[in-house]
Structure 1
Amino acid sequence: MAGEATHRWILALDVENFSTRRDPVQKRVRAAMYRALASAMERAGLAAADTVTEDRGDGVLMLVAPTVSPLLIAGPFVDELRQELREYAEQTNAEHAMRLRLALHQGLAARDERGWSGDAVNTACRLVDARQLRDALTAAPSAHLVFAVSGEVHHAVIRHGHRGIDPAAYLPCTVTTKHGETISCWITVPGRPAPAGLTGTAPGTTPGAATPGPAGAPSGPSGAQGSAPAARPGVAQHAGTVRGDQIAGDKNVTVHTSGSVRL
């Protein structure tokens, strides 16, 4: 039934290389995707009554009630989904491999008899389809999931470092849509210190400007981390030491995303 737009947490999910599979394989991978989602929701405590899903063929659009904490979505739910995908990978072959891109945004969404619409829905879908998110998954061949949050979600949720969420594991980038619109986002490979180098100018920077290091690290020539390298046009720069990973155990890794970082 149609209704007025209401605030939602908006998740867009997409299966890597789905359309290249044979039809019977697509059918089995889709079934596995829905099983993984349902199990991750149950284990994380994300109630089905608080979510609405819309099938997208090679993925899912999921709208979550505003009463649900985003900490549950970005923390336990994402981690449980990662675990489900890891277990699935141990039981299947390469033809039925299932690696996912996941994006989280928030905003107003309206429902009619055919589904959901709104600028916030469009943004989530653009993030999950962004080249940078695809590249991050390609650069981490042993990973099963990459996760992007919009700049708004990062500012309101991720950067504060609540329990189960590691801000240092996210790298910034800017996505340019086919209409020339730019969207700021942050990308992580769940369970890893930080994703491989990302292309696209980092949010809040301009070509030729230095990009800040990890949160809380001094910047500039006198900072303990030293001077950040000058950003090249069209390349996201991030230099410094990523400290820890609250989900996958303590680890340190130095990241310079002007080059290639393998995870």
Structure 2
Amino acid sequence: MTSEALHYWILVLDLESFSTRPDPIQRSLRDAMYEVVESALAQAGIDRGEVATEDRGDGILMLVAPTVPPVKLAGPLVRALDDGLREKARIYSSAHSLRMRLALHQGLVVRDARGWSGDAVNTTFRLVDAEPLRDTLRAAGTACLAFVVSDQVYEGVVRHAPRGIDPAAYLPLRFTTKHGGTVESWVMVPGFSAPPGLALPSPTPPPAPASPPTSPERGDGAADAGARPDGAVGASAIHVGVVRGDVVGRDKVIHQQGTVRP
């Protein structure tokens, strides 16, 4: 029996290259994944009773009650997860490396007898599965975690720079889903000033300077505005213009890349 849709903070984590490992290593990685997650929740001061989890084999879906401040999720929880993964990295071999992608979104979710569903859940999985996010983690060879937030979470939480969260460490990521939809998100990698593999935002192009108005030519060939009383043409009558490119078209491209923000 289904219940009414309720608002949750939605976290999805996914282990890198999980399916390529032998079964014994997969089992060991799953044990380590849950150990790191449980420890991180405790370190971040998040009551375990306010977090519902659903196992996904190579990852975990977590539904966090709206009473939990989102700053704890984007700040202390991410740092604690990264610390736990780095501790494992010091004792694990490269064949047993434990690295993960983590996505944070929010929205309405419905629970039934078999689990959780809702468009917000689907969006969070699209975030964590995005190929550019996978590429970012691969490019960050020394990192253990790549973190992506939806545009809603960035606007509502991250960009306000609460204590422990640095918006400057995030770069925008826009990608198209297999259904043709566009998803706006923001990515950071703990330990990096900017996520590797993502292009830095392009600066807004300066507006083209306005050309001074020209006066209609007089019959004697001199412009009214530039004519001297003696009839000679003054310097003000000579205008040197610079031909600019299609600034409007360029703005459109930049906007499509998601790099311009008010």
Q: Which has the higher helix share?
A: 2
Amino acid at match of 1:221: P
Mind listing any 5+ residue stretches in structure 2 that lack a counterpart? 208-249
What does the per-residue CA deviation read over 1:195-250, in whole Å, with 9 as the maximum and x for residues that have no partner? 02327xx9xxxxxxxx565xxxxx5439xxxxxxx6878995869xxxxxxxxxxx
Partner of 2:192: 192
In the TM superposition, structure 1's runs of 4+ consecutive aligned residues that sit over 4 Å from their partners are 230-239
**Count of matched residue positions in the alignment of Structure 1 and Structure 2:** 217
1-structure distance, mates of 2:90, 2:187 = 25
Q: Determine whether 1:132 maps to 2:132.
A: yes
What does the per-residue CA deviation read over 1:143-190, in whole Å, with 9 as the maximum and x for residues that have no partner? 000000000000000000000000000000112111001110000002
1-structure distance, mates of 2:33, 2:147 = 16
Partner of 1:114: 114
Q: Judging changes above 3 Å, is the alpha-carbon distance between structure 1 residues 163 and 45 closer, same or farther for their aligned structure 2 residues?
A: same
Indicate the RMSD between aligned Cα atoms, in angstroms. 2.3
Alignment of 1:42-61 (within 5 A): 42-61=42-61
2-structure distance, mates of 1:157, 1:55 = 27
1-structure distance, mates of 2:169, 2:105 = 18
When normalised by structure 2's length, the TM-score is: 0.78
Could you say which structure has the larger radius of gyration?
A: 2
1-structure distance, mates of 2:140, 2:103 = 17
Alignment of 1:19-168 (within 5 A): 19-168=19-168
Amino acid at match of 1:155: E
**SS in structure 1 of the partner of residue 62 of structure 2:** strand
Q: Determine whether 1:178 maps to 2:178.
A: yes
Q: Judging changes above 3 Å, is the alpha-carbon distance between structure 1 residues 233 and 156 closer, same or farther for their aligned structure 2 residues?
A: closer
Contact 2:6 2:108 in 1 (8 A): yes
**SS in structure 2 of the partner of residue 11 of structure 1:** strand
Identity rate, percent: 54
Contact 2:202 2:254 in 1 (8 A): no
In the TM superposition, what is the alpha-carbon distance from 1:191 to its structure 2 partner?
2.6
**SS in structure 1 of the partner of residue 54 of structure 2:** strand
When normalised by structure 1's length, the TM-score is: 0.77
Amino acid at match of 2:177: T
